[in-house]
Structure 1
Amino acid sequence: MFDAAHQQNCTATIIAPRYILTAKHCVAESGTYTFRIGSLDQTAGGTTATADAITKYPGVADLAIAHLSTSVSATYSPLGRTGDVAVRQTAQVYGWGATSQCGSEINCQSRLLKVADVRVNSITCRDYTGGIAVCANRGTGITAGGDSGGPMFASGRQVGVASTSDRSNNTAYTNITQDRSWISQVAGV
């Protein structure tokens, strides 16, 4: 996900031909957002599409849905339902976030999509904005800056949207199984 200045600022998932799911804290009330869809390299390949509208979750959950100006044919993220994620389960997290401590570097985001296993320790903790979240501990990696808005998968379905992390051992993903009715209302999925 790129802002108007073409700076990669968050990760997101395509959930339908014209809808992208991301974190509320990744988007402003106005602005231009472009998404690269269908590539593991954030700088090349796939298709790019621009959002023509952003809908933020009306409550405290750290969720937003971008409506694309054109339809995109892709593999859409299958969304989870209650029961798809449980405490002590291993889940996978994806993103283009930082892969090391950045120090004074301006942009240390990963060019290639990364994946890590994490261990779920709660399905009722809190996300960055106070919504219900899936929290997890480091496994083979952990969420970092730039991963916000990216997916957590468990049981083969997306169960969370990256919200916050201590970039060391703990991460919180907004629990989308709790907000499926809102996602369906906005995006029809």
Structure 2
Amino acid sequence: MKKRELGHKLGLAVCAGAALGLSTGCSIEGASDEPLEAFESHSSAIIGGQVAEASPWAVQVFDVRGSTGDFYQCTGTLVAARWVLTAQHCIADEGETSAVRVGSNTYREGRRIAVDAVEVHSADADIALLHLTENADGPFVQLAQATSVATGRDATAYGWGSEGTPLVMAPSLKKATIHIDGWYSAEELIATGVTGAGWSGDSGGPWFVDGRQVAVFTASNGQDGTNLHARQLGVDVARHRAWIDATIAGGPTVHPSGQVVLHDLSNFSGVSQGFGIGRYDLPNMTIIGDNRVSAIRVPAGLRVTAFMHGDFGGEARVFTSDTNLVAAGFDNTISSIVVAHASDPQPDVVTFYENANFSGASVVYGVGSSLFYSTPWDQRASSVRVPSGFRLTLYNGLWRYSAEWRVLTADANLAPQNFDNQTRSFLIERL
């Protein structure tokens, strides 16, 4: 999930746990991203604690930002030769890719390996697997069994950091003892620092109990760079063990050739999800999630109608070929889609045309109320197509405050309705 977007879903800012005002666990060294609301932008890690023993399974996760190079982002763990476990908010954003360094406790040292695929369990779960372009040498961490319970136990947390000094990373991996108090949510554990506590830059790092990784650190609360006893959130590994094992065994996702594929990065990479013929809302439990799509692949012969709102409402776009949505001006806005054969009738949208007889430029909308005010379509529509089962009400002002309106349930030229080039707002309803 994109770093900002995960927090937006939770109501505040960049990382999981925001609903309790938790400080972000992610680190953006030298980043231009401004702080969001109450969250910290400091690039720090374990506060207190001590220097860790040699940990060749520990992974440094970097954003790769074009010509500006690698920016340290998060901690992770090597769980197989080509797989790194980390937090979902640590994955690359638009215009970035990811890379890791493995095999060294020293900051910015170790073997650098590029990431070529990202797998997530769901849009909301702050856990991810990064697939590497080359095999990394072990050892690999041992993961908690699916039946294990870590609550009530002391754990050891690991991460890179600067002990509270903003934007300056510590030279070596650190560790601290924390106590896992219980559950924060159905899949997140909540803990309290004992000898130290995590902060930005520790996100994605492991919590170990009895030598097995039981959680992926995602956020902290009450951390100001000095608090050894801050509250911590970690995604429970046991509850995701089946997904982790299946992903490692199956490899990066390969979508069937006949599916439409939505991607969260405009270069047709990153998190993706495939869809066959059908109608789909994009709620949080889906892989791609709501308002996350930046590119769309459309096989020949198919048509995708994409809506800004859930339940097939709001402004829509129709795609019949692969499209970079950033370039198309429809980035991170899709909340529902209809996949159909390109030759099928279009029953899901009202189409507005600039000229009579359904010609010239056009724009499409699904159910709901919308405005043409301050858009290129203000007082521009001259004809409309209204599918069977829909009712369109056109207004020459702001909805019910308008001086005039027209109600249509079929295709129409607007000049005979004495409403040519007058529409400024409208309401689309299903009958």
Normalized against structure 2, the TM-score is what? 0.40
1:37 has 2:96 as partner: no
2:174 aligned partner? 114
Write the deviation string for residues 7-64 of structure 1: whole angstroms up to 9, x where unpaired.
11111111000000110011136632111111110222x3221111111222521111
1:151 has 2:198 as partner: no
Aligned CA-pair RMSD: 1.8
78-87 vs 12-21, which deviates more? Answer: 78-87
Amino acid across the alignment from 1:117:
T
1:182 aligned partner? 243
Secondary structure in 2 aligned to 1:112?
A: coil
Instruction: Indicate if the aligned counterparts of 1:14 and 1:77 stay in contact, CA closer than 8 A.
Output: yes
Alpha-carbon separation, structure 1, partners of 2:136 and 2:146: 28
Deviation, 1:141, is 0.3
Deviation, 1:100, is 1.1
Secondary structure in 2 aligned to 1:181?
A: helix
2:128 aligned partner? 64
Aligned equivalent of 1:138, options 184, 193, 214: 193
Deviation, 1:83, is 5.2
Instruction: Indicate if the aligned counterparts of 2:63 and 2:92 stay in contact, CA closer than 8 A.
Output: no
Write the deviation string for residues 64-107 of structure 1: whole angstroms up to 9, x where unpaired.
110000111121011102454433311000001341152xxxx2
1:92 has 2:152 as partner: no
Deviation, 1:135, is 1.3
Amino acid across the alignment from 2:177:
D
170-179 vs 108-117, which deviates more? Answer: 108-117
2:325 aligned partner? none
53-62 vs 139-148, which deviates more? Answer: 53-62
1:170 has 2:224 as partner: no
Alpha-carbon separation, structure 2, partners of 1:21 and 1:158: 10
Uncovered stretches (5+) of structure 2, i.e. residues with no partner: 1-60, 251-431
Q: Give percent identity, aligned residues only.
A: 31
Distance 1:70 1:49, change over 3 A: same
Normalized against structure 1, the TM-score is what? 0.87
Distance 1:101 1:61, change over 3 A: same
Secondary structure in 2 aligned to 1:97?
A: coil
Secondary structure in 1 aligned to 2:142?
A: coil
Uncovered stretches (5+) of structure 1, i.e. residues with no partner: none
1:55 aligned partner? 119
Amino acid across the alignment from 2:108:
T
Instruction: Indicate if the aligned counterparts of 2:146 and 2:242 stay in contact, CA closer than 8 A.
Output: no
Higher relative contact order (CA 8 A, sep 6+): 1
2:307 aligned partner? none
Alpha-carbon separation, structure 1, partners of 2:249 and 2:190: 27
Amino acid across the alignment from 2:242:
S
2:286 aligned partner? none
Instruction: Indicate if the aligned counterparts of 1:116 and 1:142 stay in contact, CA closer than 8 A.
Output: yes
Amino acid across the alignment from 1:113:
L
2:184 aligned partner? 125
Alpha-carbon separation, structure 2, partners of 1:29 and 1:21: 18
Alpha-carbon separation, structure 1, partners of 2:249 and 2:142: 13
Instruction: Indicate if the aligned counterparts of 1:36 and 1:42 stay in contact, CA closer than 8 A.
Output: no
1:75 aligned partner? 139
Alpha-carbon separation, structure 2, partners of 1:86 and 1:63: 17
Secondary structure in 2 aligned to 1:3?
A: strand
Whose radius of gyration is greater, 1 or 2? 2
85-94 vs 2-11, which deviates more? Answer: 85-94
Alpha-carbon separation, structure 2, partners of 1:155 and 1:188: 25
Amino acid across the alignment from 1:173:
G
